[in-house]
Amino acid sequence: MSSDTHHSGISGLGGEVLEHTEVKVSHCYQCGKCSAGCPLSQEMDYPPSVIMRMLQTGDAALEDKVLRSFSIWVCLTCEMCFARCPMSIDIPKMMDFLREKSIKEKKSNPKAKEIVAFHKSFLDSIRYTGRLYEVGLFVDYKTRTLKILDDLALAPKMMKRGKLNIIPELIKDRSGVAGIFRKANKKNKN
Amino acid sequence: MTLGFYPGCSLKGSSREYAESVLAVAKAFDINLEEINDWNCCGATAAHNMNKELSLALPARILSLAEKQGLIEIVVPCAACYSRLTVTKHELSKDTELKALVTEANGLEYTGSVSVLNIVQFLDKYITPSLGGRVVTPFDHKVACYYGCLLVRPHEILEFDREEDPQSLDVLMLKVGATPIDWAFKTECCGAGLSVSRTSSVGRLSGKIIGDAKDRGAEAVIVACPMCHSNLDMRRDAINSYLGEKIDIPVLYITQAIGLALGLDRKALGLQRHFVKVTV
Amino acid sequence: MSKVGVFVCHCGENISATVDCAKVAETAGTYDGVAFSVDYKYMCSDPGQNLIKSAIKEKGLTGVVVASCSPRMHEPTFRKACAEAGLNPFMCEMANLREHCSWVHEKGEATTDKAIDLVRILVEKVKYNHSLNEIKVPVTKTALVIGGGIAGIQASLDIANTGHKVILIEKDPSIGGHMSQLSETFPTLDCSQCILTPRMVEVAQHPNITLYTYAELESLEGFIGNFKAKIRRKSKSIDEKLCTGCGQCTMKCPVKKIPSEFNEGLGKRTAIYVPFPQAVPNKPVIDRINCTYYIKGKCKVCEIVCPTGAIRFDQEDQIMEVEIGAIVIATGFTVKQPDFFPEYGYGKYADVITGLQFERLASASGPTLGEIRRPSDGKIPEKIVFLACAGSRDPAKGIPYCSKICCMYIAKHAMLYQHKVHGGKSYVFYMDIRAGGKQYEEFVRRAIEDDGVNYVRGRVSRIYEKNGKLIVNGVDTLLNAMPVEIEADMVVLATAGVANEGAEELAQKLHISYDPYKFFAEAHPKLKPVETNTAGIFLAGACQAPRDIPESVAMASGAAVKVASLFSKDELTREPIIAVVNRQAPPVYSSCVGCFLCVSACPYQAIEKEEIKNRNGEVIKSIAKVNPGLCQGCGTCVAFCRTKSIDIQGYTHEQMYTEVMALLNEY
C-alpha cells in the first residue's frame, strides 16, 4: 500500500458509496462499536469497522480487497451495527451496495460461493413463479453448489410435517414479475 | 371486519403453521383476513443483497396491488416481509426519482397509502383490547420472548417498540397469563438467511439464544418471525451440536401461544408441524 | 457649512484586495461638503491617526468619516484621535468597508460601487451629527458570585482580597460543589477535600464575603456597575443565628432512607441533614419534600432535641434585594445520567455506575468508607471495567463534544482501584486518550505501566447480566477489531459533562447568551474567555464548558481581575447613544402627547413621567422623560412613538432619513 494514496478522501469506492447510499465514510472515527456488536464479526475476514477504515484510505488495493472480502457476504444485515453506531452510519445499506458492486465486477469471494448461490437460486425461483418454490430453490441451489448431501434428511422431515409444497404456486401475472426482473437487471448492466 | 393479509412465501410453505395460527386467532375474533390478489414474493434478503431496484420494485408491486384492491391496512406476520415493505414505503416516499423508476418497472400505480402492520401491531390493535376476557387456559409458563432483528431495527424507519429490551411481546404474553423472563438475547440475530448456505453459523448464533433462554429457566421461546422460528426449531440439531447437549425447549409463534390460551384446537394451530415437540 | 473629512483605509490588503480604495477616496472628494478626502494603507496606525488629526486642524473639519473596518474594532481609536485634535469624538463616523463589503464580496466594480455608496451615506449622515458628551455613572463596588464550587470560591476570595465586598450565593445547603465529592484529584492524587476545605473555611470567615447558601438568583435588573439583584433565600427551616451545628437533630431524625444527593444515590441521608461532615456552613436544612412534619404534620423530633430551639418549621423563603456592580457566574456543570444508553444497563443493573458514583465509593467519607464495593451485594469487585466516552463524542445520543476530563479521571479511577484492590484486574475501553495538561500524559502512563491497568482501544457494544456478573462485549480495534468479552463485577461509565438543569433559565434571567448545549457563551472564544457579551457579567469554571480544577481556578482568578479593574474606577463612562424626548419652547413644551406607550415598551424601565408645572405649581402637561443612567439606546421607544417625539442621540430621525435618501439618490 503506497503512502501517497493513503488519504481519507471521498474519491474512489468511498465516493461511490456516498453517491449511492448517502453514507459518508469520513464520519467513522473507528470506535469499533459495530464490530463489537456484530454477531458474525468472528467469521469475517474484515469486521465492519475495518471495512470502514479500508474505504477511508481511498487506496485502490484496499478497495479491491473490500469487494473481494468474505465479510460483505456473511453479513446478515441484522442492523445491529447501525442501531448502535454513535455516528448513525448506515452500514447495512453500505453493505448492500458493496455486495451489488462485487457481483457486477465479478469479485465475490470464493468462500461465499454457497451464500451467493443461495441468493441467486432464491431470485431465480421467484422470477419464474412469482413466489418462492422451496423445492425448486433447493434443487437449483444444489446444482449450483454441488452440495447434494447437505440437508438431504431434512426434506422428508419437512414433508412429513406438511411444510414442503411439491407443486409450485404460480401467480397469474408471472410475465409482470419477470418484466420487473428484466428491467432491474438491465439497469445493473449499465 | 376485513383486513388485508400478506402471508409471504414462508407462511405458504415451510412455516405453514404460522399462517394457520394467525387465521385461527383472527377467526376467533371475527376478523376476516383477505389475501392480496396475485401477490408476489417480497424479495426477502436475496433481493436487497443483489439488486437495489429489484428489492424495492417487488415490495412496491405488493403495495400497489393492495391499493388496487382497496385495502387500507394489511397484516404482515412475517417480520422480514414487514421490514421490506416498510423500508420500501420509506425509501419511495423520500426519493421521487426512485419512485418513478419503480412504478415504471412495475407498470402499476403507487401512492403509498396502504398501512403495513406487523403481527404485534395487528394483535395490539384488534385482538388485545378484548383478549383478557377470552382467556380460557392461561399460558402459565415462563417464556423467553424473542424479537429477532427486523421487528425493531432500524427504529428510525419502523418506529415500533424500542431497539433495546423491547417489551411488546412480553406485554402480550403477560395478558395471556405467562411469565415473561428478562434475558439477554431478545434482539440478537438468529443467523437469518444463512440457514441453508452456512448452517454452522446458525447453530452458533441460535445456540447462544436457546442456551441463554434455558439458563434462565424458560419453558418456551415465543417468536414473531418465520425465519427465526425455522432457525430455532428446524435447526435444533445444529443448536444442540453447538451447545453440546440436547435442549427440548419448544418454540411457539405468538399467535400459537395466544391460540392455546384461547382454548383453540392444537391441530388448528399447527403445533404438530414443529420439529421440537411442543409440550406446553 | 459642513467640512467633512473622508479617510479611506486599505487595511493592508483586507479592503484593497477587493475594493478600489483610491477611487472611493477620489469620488468622495467630489461630494458637496467634503473638504478633504484621502486613502491610506493603515488608518489605525500612528501615521494614519496623525493624518486625521492634522486634517482636522489644518482644514478645520467639522466631521470625520473613516471608511475602514467594523466600529467594533476601532471606533474608540478614531474617536480618541478626533478628540485629541479638538473635534468632539461623536462627530466621527465609521463606514464599514471590511466586514460589510470587502470581506463578503469578490473583487470588481460592483464591490467598489458598494463601498462608494457606504461612504456617501455616512458623509450625508455626519452633516447632521451633533456634539455629544459621555455620561458618567457611579459604580457599586460589590460583586455577586453565583455558585459556590471551587471556581466561585476562588473568584470570591480573589475579589475580597482586593478590598471589595462579595456576596456569594450557592443553591445547595453547603458550598464546595463537585470538588467536595471527589476522592483524590489528578495528577497529584491529592485528597480533594483536604485541599478544598481550607478554602471553604476562608470564604466563611473572610470579612469581605457574605455567604448565603440554599439561595438562588430570583431576578436581575440594571446594567454594568449598577445592577439590582433579587435573591431568594430558600427556607432552611432553621434559625441560623441560634443553630450551633451540634448535629443532635440529624442523629435523631427518624426518616433515614432518603437517597443522598451528595453520595450520588449510593448512600442515604435523613430529612433534616447536613450534606457532608465538612459542610460550610455546618448547619442543617430540612428537606420539606421528605420530612414527616410537612407531609403529615407529625414528628417534630428535631425540635424536641434541639438544645438551642433553632428549628423553625414555619419559616418562609426570603427575597432580599442587593445592589451590585458586577457578577461572576460560577455555577458549574453536572454529569448526564446515562440511562439514554439502554445497551449499557445503567439503572437496570445496580453494579453499572457513573464516574461520580465511583468517586463516592473511593472517598474515605463515602458510603463505603473508601472501599470499592458493589452496590448490589457489597462485595469487592475482582474485575472492573471502565468505559470512556459513555455519552460524549456521540452525535447519535445528542452530545457530539468531548467532555475533556474523563480520560484523566478514568486513569485515576483505575489507579485508585488497583491501589485498593491488590490482585484486582481493571480494563479501560477507550477511543483516544486526551491528556493535555501538565503532568497529565505521565499520569496516564503510570496507570498503564506501573499499575497494570489494561487499556483496550474500542467501544463496548453492550453489557448484560448473567449469573451475577456483568458481561461486557467490546472490541480491540488495534487487533483487527477482535472481539473482547469480559465478565466483570462492576462497570463504571464515564458519562458526559453537561450544563446544569436550570442553566437556561438562569442565562435568561441574566440576559447572557448560551450555546445549544446550554453552556454559557464567552464574548470571544479565543481572547475573551471570562467575559460574556453582557457588560459587567463574567464567567468562571465549568458553566462555560466542561473543564478540570486548575483551569476553573485560573478562570476564576481571571474573572476576579476583570471585576477588580471595573471597581478600580469610581465612575464608569457610558456612551451618550441614548434616547431623548424633545423639548420645545412654551406653550408646546414638547411634541410628546403623554401617551406613555414608550414607558411600557422600554425593556430597561428607563422612561419616567415628567410633570411640567407653571409657576403656581399646577401641572400643565405630563410628558415622557428618559433616565440617561438606565437607557441602553436600543431604540424600541423610538419605533413606538407616534408623534416622533423621542430620538436616539447619534441616530436621530434626521440622520437616518438622510442616510436612506443618500443611498437612493444618484449622486
* C-alpha cell recorded at residue C261: 444527593
CATH 1.10.1060.10 in chain A, residue ranges: 3-107
Determine, for residues C471 and B184 on separate chains, whether the beta-carbon distance falls below 8 Å: yes
Determine, for residues C476 and A32 on separate chains, whether the beta-carbon distance falls below 8 Å: yes
Q: Which of A22, A79, A90, A149 to mutate to test the interface with B (most CBs of B within 10 A)?
A: A79
Stretch (H or E) spanning C52: helix C46-59
Question: B257 and B173 in contact (C-beta within 8 Å)?
Answer: yes
Q: Measured between beta carbons, which residues in chain B are less than 8 angstroms from residue A161? A: 272-275
At C665, is the secondary structure helix, strand, or coil?
Answer: coil
Query: What would the 3-class secondary structure string for C323-343 be?
Result: EECEEEECCCEEECCHHHCHH
For chain B, list residues whose CB is within 8 angstroms of any CB belonging to chain C: 162-165, 184, 212, 215
Determine, for residues C395 and A88 on separate chains, whether the beta-carbon distance falls below 8 Å: yes
Check residue A29 and give its pLDDT. Answer: 96
Whole-number Å distance between alpha carbons of C433 and C438: 15
Q: Measured between beta carbons, which residues in chain B are less than 8 angstroms from residue A38? A: none
Coarse DSSP helix, strand, coil percentages of chain C, rounded to the nearest 5 percent: 30, 25, 40
pLDDT over threshold 70, residue A6: no
Minimum-distance CB partner of B189 among A78, A117, A126: A78
Q: Rounded to a whole number, what is the distance in angstroms from the first to the last CA of chain C?
A: 19
Determine, for residues A74 and B106 on separate chains, whether the beta-carbon distance falls below 8 Å: no
User: What's the maximum distance between 2 C-alpha atoms anywhere in chain A?
Assistant: 63
Q: Measured between beta carbons, which residues in chain B are less than 8 angstroms from residue A122? A: 44-46
At C390, is the secondary structure helix, strand, or coil?
Answer: strand
pLDDT over threshold 60, residue C667: no
User: Nearest-CA residue of chain C relative to B186?
Assistant: C464
Q: Which of B94, B163, B198 to mutate to test the interface with A (most CBs of A within 10 A)?
A: B198
Stretch (H or E) spanning C66: strand C63-68
pLDDT digits (tens, 9 = 90+) for A152-190: 788 888 888 888 888 888 888 888 898 889 888 876 654
pLDDT over threshold 80, residue C80: yes
Q: State the architecture of B137-273 in CATH terms.
A: 3-Layer(aba) Sandwich (3.40)
Q: What percent of chain C has pLDDT over 90?
A: 91
Question: C31 and C65 in contact (C-beta within 8 Å)?
Answer: no
User: Nearest-CA residue of chain A relative to B53?
Assistant: A184
| DSSP sequence for B103-160 | HHHHTS------EEEEHHHHIIIIIGGGTGGG-SS---SEEEE--TTTTTSSHHHH--
Q: Measured between beta carbons, which residues in chain C are less than 8 angstroms from residue B165? A: 342, 348
Q: Measured between beta carbons, which residues in chain B are less than 8 angstroms from residue A77? A: 45, 48-49, 192
Question: C158 and C340 in contact (C-beta within 8 Å)?
Answer: no
Check residue C605 and give its pLDDT. Answer: 79
Residue C163: half-sphere exposure toward Cβ, Cα within 13 Å: 3
Q: How far is B170 from chain A (nearest CA, A)?
A: 21
Minimum-distance CB partner of A162 among B54, B273, B275: B273
Question: C547 and C522 in contact (C-beta within 8 Å)?
Answer: no
Band (pLDDT 50/70/90 cuts) for residue C666 is: low
pLDDT digits (tens, 9 = 90+) for C301-310: 999 999 999 9
Q: Measured between beta carbons, which residues in chain B are less than 8 angstroms from residue C343? A: 164
The pairing of strands C571-574 and C135-138 is antiparallel
Whole-number Cα distances in Å, C612 to B32, C582, C592, C598, C625: 88, 13, 12, 18, 11
pLDDT digits (tens, 9 = 90+) for A52-81: 999 999 999 999 999 999 999 999 999 999
User: Nearest-CA residue of chain A relative to C341?
Assistant: A84
* C-alpha cell recorded at residue C189: 492524587
Determine, for residues B45 and A119 on separate chains, whether the beta-carbon distance falls below 8 Å: yes
Give the list of residues 6+ apart from residue C601 with CB closer than 8 angstroms, or none. Answer: C636, C637, C639, C640
* C-alpha cell recorded at residue B143: 417464556
pLDDT digits (tens, 9 = 90+) for C208-253: 999 999 999 999 988 889 999 999 999 999 999 999 999 999 999 9
- Measure CA C106 to chain center: 38
Whole-number Å distance between alpha carbons of C325 and C145: 11
Strands (DSSP E) contained in C306-458 are 318-324, 326-329, 333-335, 352-354, 383-390, 425-430, 454-457
Question: C39 and C11 in contact (C-beta within 8 Å)?
Answer: no
CA dihedral B141, B144, B148, B150 (to 10 degrees): 60
Band (pLDDT 50/70/90 cuts) for residue C632 is: confident
At B193, is the secondary structure helix, strand, or coil?
Answer: coil
Question: A8 and A54 in contact (C-beta within 8 Å)?
Answer: no
pLDDT digits (tens, 9 = 90+) for A133-149: 888 888 889 888 888 77
At C468, is the secondary structure helix, strand, or coil?
Answer: coil
| DSSP sequence for A52-120 | HHHHHHT-HHHHHHHHT-SHHHH-----HHHHH-TT---HHHHHHHHHHHHHHTT---GGGHHHHHHHH
Determine, for residues B164 and C343 on separate chains, whether the beta-carbon distance falls below 8 Å: yes
Band (pLDDT 50/70/90 cuts) for residue A1 is: very low
Which sequence spans correspond to the domains of chain B? 2-119, 137-273
Q: Tell me whether C343 touches chain B (CB under 8 Å).
A: yes
Which residues in chain B land under pLDDT 50?
none
Check residue A5 and give its pLDDT. Answer: 45
∠ CA C381-C384-C389, rounded to 5°: 145
The pairing of strands C469-476 and C462-466 is antiparallel
Determine, for residues A36 and C396 on separate chains, whether the beta-carbon distance falls below 8 Å: no
- Could you tell me which of C186, C191, C192, C201 has the C-alpha nearest to residue C153? C201
| Cis previous bond, C47, omega within 30 | no
- Could you tell me which of C351, C384, C171 has the C-alpha nearest to residue C266? C351
Check residue A66 and give its pLDDT. Answer: 97
Right CATH for B2-119 from 1.20.1050.140, 1.10.10.10, 1.10.1490.10, 1.20.1070.10: 1.20.1050.140
Question: A84 and A33 in contact (C-beta within 8 Å)?
Answer: yes
Q: Measured between beta carbons, which residues in chain C are less than 8 angstroms from residue B163? A: 342
Q: Supply the angle between the helices B168-175 and B254-261 in degrees, to the nearest 10.
A: 20
Check residue A189 and give its pLDDT. Answer: 59
Minimum-distance CB partner of B192 among A78, A163, A181: A78
Check residue A139 and give its pLDDT. Answer: 87
Check residue A10 and give its pLDDT. Answer: 67
What's the sign of the alpha-carbon dihedral A147, A150, A153, A155? negative
User: What's the maximum distance between 2 C-alpha atoms anywhere in chain B?
Assistant: 54
At C369, is the secondary structure helix, strand, or coil?
Answer: coil
CATH topology of domain A3-107: Fumarate Reductase Iron-sulfur Protein; Chain B, domain 2 (1.10.1060)
Subunit partners of chain C (3 or more CB pairs within 8 A):
A, B
pLDDT digits (tens, 9 = 90+) for C18-29: 999 999 999 999
User: Nearest-CA residue of chain B relative to A98?
Assistant: B49
Determine, for residues B12 and A79 on separate chains, whether the beta-carbon distance falls below 8 Å: no
pLDDT digits (tens, 9 = 90+) for C413-458: 999 999 999 999 999 999 999 999 999 999 999 999 999 999 999 9
Segment C321-329 shows an average pLDDT of: 97
Backbone angles phi, psi at B245, to 5 degrees: -155, 165
Backbone angles phi, psi at A31, to 5 degrees: -75, -25
pLDDT over threshold 80, residue A150: no
Residue C51, Cβ neighbours under 10 Å: how many?
18
- Measure CA C128 to chain center: 40
For chain C, list residues whose CB is within 8 angstroms of any CB belonging to chain A: 343, 389, 393-397, 431, 457-462, 473-477, 480-481, 483-484
- Could you tell me which of B18, B78, B10 has the C-alpha nearest to residue B259? B18
pLDDT over threshold 60, residue C463: yes
Subunit partners of chain A (3 or more CB pairs within 8 A):
B, C
* C-alpha cell recorded at residue C219: 431576578
- Could you tell me which of A152, A69, A153, A165 has the C-alpha nearest to residue A115? A69
Q: Measured between beta carbons, which residues in chain C are less than 8 angstroms from residue A80? A: 461
Q: Measured between beta carbons, which residues in chain A are less than 8 angstroms from residue C389? A: 31
Check residue A4 and give its pLDDT. Answer: 46
Strands (DSSP E) contained in C202-348 are 209-213, 215-223, 226-233, 258-259, 268-269, 272-273, 285-286, 318-324, 326-329, 333-335
The pTM score is 0.87
Q: What percent of chain C has pLDDT over 70?
A: 100
Q: Any idea what DSSP says for residue C525?
A: T
Minimum-distance CB partner of C464 among B163, B184, B215: B184
Segment C166-182 shows an average pLDDT of: 97
Check residue C216 and give its pLDDT. Answer: 97
Question: B53 and B101 in contact (C-beta within 8 Å)?
Answer: yes
Q: Measured between beta carbons, which residues in chain C are less than 8 angstroms from residue A47? A: 475, 480-481
- Could you tell me which of C66, C68, C73, C71 has the C-alpha nearest to residue C87? C66
Whole-number Å distance between alpha carbons of C147 and C177: 8
Determine, for residues C466 and B162 on separate chains, whether the beta-carbon distance falls below 8 Å: no
